[in-house]
Amino acid sequence: IKKAYRKLAKKYHPDLHPNDKTAEANFKDVNEAYEVLSDPDKKAKYDQFGHAGVDPNFNPGGFGGGFSGGFGDIFDSFFSGGFGDIFGGQGQRSAGPRRGDNIHVSFSVSFEEAAFGCEKGVTVNRTEPCDECQGTGCEKGYTAEVCSNCKGTGRVVTQQRGPFGVMQSSTECPRCGGTGKIILKPCPKCSGKGVVRKQKTIKVSVPAGIDDGQSISLRGQGHAGARGGPAGDLIITVSVRNHDYFIRDGYDVLCGINISIADAILGKSLEVPTLDGKVKYNIPEGTQSGTVFRLRGKGIPHLRGGGRGDQYVTVDVVIPKGLTAEQKDLLLKFDASLSGKPTDIPVKKGRKRGKKNSN
CA distance linking residue 353 with residue 118, whole number of Å: 35
Amino acid at 251: Y
The alpha carbon of residue 217 and the mean position of all alpha carbons in its chain are separated, in whole angstroms, by: 8
Given this model, what pLDDT does residue 82 score?
Answer: 40
Q: Tell which phi-psi region holds residue 5, choosing left (phi > 0), alpha (psi between -120 and 50) or beta.
A: alpha
Given this model, what pLDDT does residue 81 score?
Answer: 38
Q: What is the pLDDT along the chain (359 residues), one digit of tens a residue?
A: 777 778 888 787 877 777 777 778 788 878 878 887 777 777 666 555 555 555 555 444 444 444 444 454 554 444 433 444 333 333 444 566 788 999 999 999 999 999 999 999 999 999 999 999 888 889 988 988 999 888 888 888 887 776 656 677 778 888 888 888 898 899 999 988 889 999 999 999 999 999 999 999 999 999 998 877 899 999 999 999 999 999 999 999 999 999 999 999 999 999 999 999 999 999 999 999 999 999 999 999 998 878 999 999 999 999 999 999 999 999 899 888 886 655 555 555 544 444 445 44
Given this model, what pLDDT does residue 67 score?
Answer: 47
Given this model, what pLDDT does residue 135 score?
Answer: 86
CA distance linking residue 84 with residue 105, whole number of Å: 31
DSSP string, 11-62: HT-GGGSTT-HHHHHHHHHHHHHHHHHT-HHHHHHHHHHGGGGT-TT--TT-
0.75 surpassed by pTM: no
Q: Tell which phi-psi region holds residue 136, choosing left (phi > 0), alpha (psi between -120 and 50) or beta.
A: alpha
CB 122 within 8 A of CB 130: no
Given this model, what pLDDT does residue 53 score?
Answer: 55
Given this model, what pLDDT does residue 354 score?
Answer: 43
CA distance linking residue 88 with residue 47, whole number of Å: 9
CB 170 within 8 A of CB 156: yes
